[in-house]
Amino acid sequence: MVSQAVNAANRSTAGRKFIEKTLGVHRDAPVPAYHTKSARKRLQQYRQVEAPEAEATANTSGKVLLFATCYGNRNMPSLAEDLVAIYRHNGIAIALAGKEYCCGMPKLELGDLDAVSRARDANIPQLAEWVDRGWDIVTPIPSCTLMFKQELPLMFPDDPQVAKVRDAMFDPFEYLMLRHRDGKMRTDFSTSLGKVAYQVPCHLRVQNIGLKTRDVLQLVPDTEVEVIERCSGHDGTYAVKKEFHEISKKIARPVIGKVKKSGARHFVSDCPMAAEQIAQGLDDYDPQHPLGTNAGLLFEDRLTIQYQVQEMLRIERIFEPAGIAAELDGYNPLIPDGSNWKATFMIEFPDLDERRAMLTSLVGIENKVWMQAGDLDKIYAIADEDMQRSDSDKTSAVHFLRFELTAAQVEALRQGAELAAGIDHHAYQVELRSIAGNVRRSLLADLD
């Protein structure tokens, strides 16, 4: 009854308005359904099982304890069910622990270290017992995997049980690829996936295991995977909060733009919350970012740069003040300061040979990108102020641009003048008129 009542409230306009007012959850933010029949109930036959028939490889035992996670258990039980089906199809034994508690990541992000310690005390002893019995551990949510792999070991470096669980913890696709390496994964796929746009979640990238999900997908015949390594803007509860939801959507726009541009048949992410955030944006995405079919601008602001810095610090494991300061020195020039726009300019040709040839033909293109307010003079980009990215033989596929506006140009845009963009290079010419919607609103906000 509780799940039904919560789901009914989340589906109704009145319910969402009430929840926004009382709990601060934005009325338009995607929120997951709750299931009375949880994953652990659906999979109860796997509790406390033994697996004498499991076949080990050099790096895997062939026996996996599934840590279902809060989200996988209550919000998307099909996620755990599908993972179990895939592993069983590949001859991997599955078990569930007798009890399971939150991994502690939500509390860590709120700074509640006492709650994290309690979560460790609840989970780690029983997980360590399973490791002692020869079982590996997998979770279906990247944040939870990261918690056991990195966050708890950083917080409790002298706890041998934490270290034991860390060494037995795997990402689901990492585990499959380890099995595949030793010939223990079935690859008799019968159906092509076509083109897949794959967003790599931040909490997966920071694990530094490579792109194992992509590698598994590419084992399917006639399947092409376009990798998108950029933040979705979800970040736990951040994206659903009333005060941050619109900002989170802005952070997600570069990913949404790449998914749209890819023309993929499928869009996937390892993180279901990131996937929901991006999927919602696909419906109202304003497609004015691309400059033709093979170039595009991704406009930056303080928030998008902040997220990139945070991602880099976490991925590179930079914790010392000097290292943080060095990263800030590199990224701060990319933040617009009220009289300009700053953007990442990307040249994109999927075919490697064509890309090499075009980068030779497009020397100097970064200086030919322009914006225009009404019928005033074109605003040509000032390119790569931090370092040289082109020479006389070829240009780079990525450039950082600054568009400096005069007071008259800013005022014209505020008064409703048309905003246009284009490229005037002899080998690549394009013009986009009447840039509007989210892009225009965002760019005007950067001029405040």
Pair 161, 274 in one domain: no
389 within some domain: yes
Please state, rounded to an integer, the average pLDDT across all residues of the chain: 88
Tell me which of 97-106, 149-158, 161-170, 300-309 is least confident.
Answer: 300-309
Q: What is the pLDDT of residue 2?
A: 66
Give whichever of 37-41, 175-179, 253-257 has the largest mean pLDDT. Answer: 175-179
Rounded Cα–Cα distance for residues 84 and 60 (Å):
16
Q: What token pair was written down for 196? A: 């897949």
207 within some domain: yes
Tell me which of 225-234, 274-283, 327-336 is least confident.
Answer: 274-283
213 within some domain: yes
Which tens digits make up the pLDDT trace of 71-89? 999 888 888 999 999 999 9
Average pLDDT over residues 312-335: 82
Give whichever of 71-80, 263-272, 333-342, 404-413 has the largest mean pLDDT. Answer: 404-413
Tell me which of 58-67, 72-81, 162-171, 360-369 is least confident.
Answer: 72-81
Q: Return the exposure string of 158-190: e unless at least 16 CB atoms fall within 10 Å of the residue's CB, then b.
A: ebebbebbbebbbbbbbbbbbbbeeebbeeeee
Long-range pairs of 73-77 with CB within 8 A, sequence gap ≥ 24: 73/38, 73/39, 73/40, 73/100, 74/34, 74/35, 74/38, 74/39, 75/32, 75/33, 75/34, 75/35, 75/272, 76/32, 76/272, 77/35, 77/37, 77/38, 77/39, 77/42
**What's the alpha-carbon Rg for the chain, to the nearest Å?**
24
| End position of a domain, from candidates 179, 202, 227 | 179
Residue 286 has pLDDT above 60, yes or no: no
Using the structure block, give the residue that is written with the tokens 């991925």.
315
DSSP structural state of residue 381: P
3-class secondary structure, 369: strand
Pair 345, 422 in one domain: yes
Q: What token pair was written down for 94? A: 């599955």
* % residues pLDDT > 70 (the chain): 97
Q: What token pair was written down for 361? A: 């033909």
**CA of 158: how far to CAs of 35, 155, 164, in Å?**
38, 9, 11
Cβ contacts of 387 within 8 Å, gap of 6 or more: none
Q: What is the pLDDT of residue 49?
A: 78
Q: Quote helix, strand, coil % in the chain, to nearest 5.
A: 45, 15, 35
- Amino acid, res. 146: L
Task: Report how many domains make up the chain.
Answer: 3
Pair 140, 249 in one domain: no
**CA of 25: how far to CAs of 4, 185, 361, in Å?**
19, 42, 50
Pair 388, 271 in one domain: no
| Confidence band for 288, pLDDT divided at 50, 70 and 90 | very low
Q: What is the pLDDT of residue 285?
A: 45
22 within some domain: no
**CA of 269: how far to CAs of 187, 232, 299, in Å?**
21, 10, 23
Pair 134, 165 in one domain: yes
Pair 137, 255 in one domain: no
Pair 361, 238 in one domain: no
Q: What is the pLDDT of residue 403?
A: 96
Q: What token pair was written down for 307? A: 């997220």
56 within some domain: yes
| End position of a domain, from candidates 179, 200, 229 | 179
Q: What token pair was written down for 71? A: 């989200």
Average pLDDT over residues 150-157: 95
Q: What is the pLDDT of residue 425?
A: 95
Which tens digits make up the pLDDT trace of 114-127? 999 999 999 999 99
Choose between 124 and 387: higher pLDDT: 124
Q: Which domain holds residue 235?
A: 190-285
* CATH number of the domain encompassing residue 426: 2.60.40
Tell me which of 134-138, 251-255, 302-306, 334-338 is least confident.
Answer: 302-306
Pair 340, 421 in one domain: yes
**Does the pTM exceed 0.85?**
no
Rounded Cα–Cα distance for residues 97 and 66 (Å):
8
425 within some domain: yes
2 within some domain: no
Pair 265, 153 in one domain: no
Pair 94, 235 in one domain: no
| End position of a domain, from candidates 222, 253, 285 | 285
Sheet containing 428-432: which strands, arranged edge to edge? 379-380, 369-373, 419-425, 428-432
Pair 367, 446 in one domain: yes
Pair 115, 49 in one domain: yes
10 within some domain: no
CB 305, CB 353: distance < 8 Å: no
Which tens digits make up the pLDDT trace of 166-222? 999 999 999 999 999 999 999 999 888 889 999 999 889 889 899 999 999 999 999
Residue 289 has pLDDT above 60, yes or no: no
- Mark residue 400 as left, alpha or beta (left: phi above 0; alpha: psi -120 to 50; beta: remaining): beta
Tell me which of 165-179, 213-227, 305-319, 347-361 is least confident.
Answer: 305-319
Residue 283 has pLDDT above 80, yes or no: no
Torsion of CA 286, 334, 242, 315, to 10 degrees: 110
DSSP structural state of residue 72: I
